[in-house]
């Protein structure tokens, strides 16, 4: 093991609202020690256990529990005894209440919005060096401003400075998908400096006017439609009726839309509806955002580029940059929910590597300062 890997392995992390483990998987991949994770969804927990616990020499402790009831002190005592301080807390509280798809004033009083402060309760108890919170862009809307302001104010009161909110698009970091998310980074005040944040983008539009030669072009999603591994339990798609299959046959391949299929629904009599619904993915471009209904063509542009059905669970997972050996349990609907809620693995690698590098350098600086003080006191 390299010195950098050994140093990273000494970092301890907690993943809240862990879902299937997108953030956890990314952290484990770069060597961070995920000591614990919290998730309430049973199918997501089953998948988390299958992929990240049952085969790991240092498995995280998974709390399948309602975070509103789970005591942060219990998690601190169980998973972070005195010899294992918490360096980093990750997590994305359920974002449906903040979704940009909520119209007018809806979502303002959604009880899920308060889960933001259950996240904060764990920060207050464990006092990590850093915390990283992820959510949808809708959290920036004026109607939700009070939640974000309150979270920032409470964090500052207990000794954290906040960077953000920062809007990032996963396609700028090599994920073959247009996925915009908000990230809020908290840094404990006793730490000096700050991580490189946000990490510099690694990819850009091939047609960008001011192209940076150091950055690669955005990745298309063409490669995700290669054949699946034999016996892959996630190589399955929704079963459609004959009328819908006929509409897909009439939809132009590689990016065609519902309006081109000749199929008109009653709800489209007075308006054209969401134009992406029942549309085909264009494999020459980054895919649309993988939502919790990403295998359902009625919920977005989720029809296979050339075949007459929705994309498979495995194809959706590849768009989220999960490896093919990552298994999603619970059936097609449960699997889509797990995939849509996850942080893309490749984006997680980039974000967490930046934070890990900072924590390692900060620790080295602290050791140096302590040694200098000790030598001075003994002189």
Active-site residues: which are they? 95
Nearest Cα to 311, choosing from 224, 195, 218?
Answer: 224
Tokens of 273: 């509806």
Helix intervals (H) in the chain: 3-9, 22-29, 42-48, 72-79, 115-126, 145-157, 242-250, 313-319, 332-341, 345-378
- DSSP character for 292? T
Nearest Cα to 198, choosing from 151, 163, 156, 149?
Answer: 163
Tokens of 261: 């299929």
Nearest Cα to 339, choosing from 347, 328, 323, 350?
Answer: 328
Report CA-CA distances (Å) from 262 to 4, 265, 275.
58, 10, 13
Distance CA 249, CA 253 (A): 9
Nearest Cα to 224, choosing from 181, 178, 175?
Answer: 175
Report CA-CA distances (Å) from 10 to 28, 79, 189, 191, 278.
12, 14, 21, 18, 47
Contact 181, 170 (CB under 8 A): yes
- DSSP character for 65? S
Phi, psi for 217 (deg, rounded to 5): -70, 155
Distance CA 54, CA 21 (A): 14
The dihedral built from the CA positions of residue 200, 285, 97 and 335, taken in this order, carries a sign that is negative
């Amino acid at each position: 093991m390299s010195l950098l890997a050994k140093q990273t392995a000494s970092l301890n992390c907690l993943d809240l609202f862990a879902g299937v483990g997108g953030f956890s998987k990314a952290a484990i991949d770069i060597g961070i020690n995920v000591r614990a994770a919290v998730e309430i969804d049973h199918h997501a927990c089953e998948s988390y256990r299958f992929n990240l616990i049952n085969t790991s020499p240092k498995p995280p402790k998974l709390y399948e529990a309602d975070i509103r009831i789970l005591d942060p002190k219990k998690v601190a005592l169980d998973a972070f005894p005195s010899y294992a301080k918490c360096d980093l807390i990750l997590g994305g509280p359920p974002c449906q209440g903040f979704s940009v798809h909520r119209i007018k004033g809806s979502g303002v009083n959604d009880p899920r919005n308060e889960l933001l402060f259950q996240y904060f309760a764990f920060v207050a108890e464990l006092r990590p060096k850093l915390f990283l919170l992820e959510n949808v862009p809708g959290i920036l809307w004026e109607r939700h401003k009070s939640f974000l302001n309150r979270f920032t104010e409470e964090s500052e009161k207990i000794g954290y400075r906040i960077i953000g909110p920062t809007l990032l698009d996963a396609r700028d970091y090599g994920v073959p998908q247009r996925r915009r998310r908000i990230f809020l980074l908290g840094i404990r005040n006793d730490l000096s400096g700050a991580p490189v944040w946000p990490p510099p983008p690694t990819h850009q539009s091939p047609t960008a006017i001011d192209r940076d030669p150091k950055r690669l072009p955005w990745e298309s999603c063409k490669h995700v439609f290669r054949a699946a591994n034999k016996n892959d339990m996630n190589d399955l798609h929704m079963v459609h009726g004959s009328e819908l299959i006929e509409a897909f046959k009439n939809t132009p391949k590689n990016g065609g839309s519902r309006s081109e299929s000749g199929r008109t629904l009653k709800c489209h009599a007075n308006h054209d509806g969401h134009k992406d619904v029942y549309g085909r993915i264009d494999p020459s471009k980054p895919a649309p955002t993988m939502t919790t209904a990403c295998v359902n063509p009625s919920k977005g542009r989720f029809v296979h580029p050339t075949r007459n059905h929705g994309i498979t669970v495995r194809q959706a997972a590849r768009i989220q940059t999960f490896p093919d050996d990552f298994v999603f349990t619970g059936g097609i609907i449960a699997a889509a929910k797990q995939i849509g809620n996850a942080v893309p693995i490749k984006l997680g690698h980039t974000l967490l590597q930046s934070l890990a590098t900072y924590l390692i350098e900060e620790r080295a600086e602290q050791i140096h300062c302590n040694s200098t003080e000790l030598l001075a006191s003994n002189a």
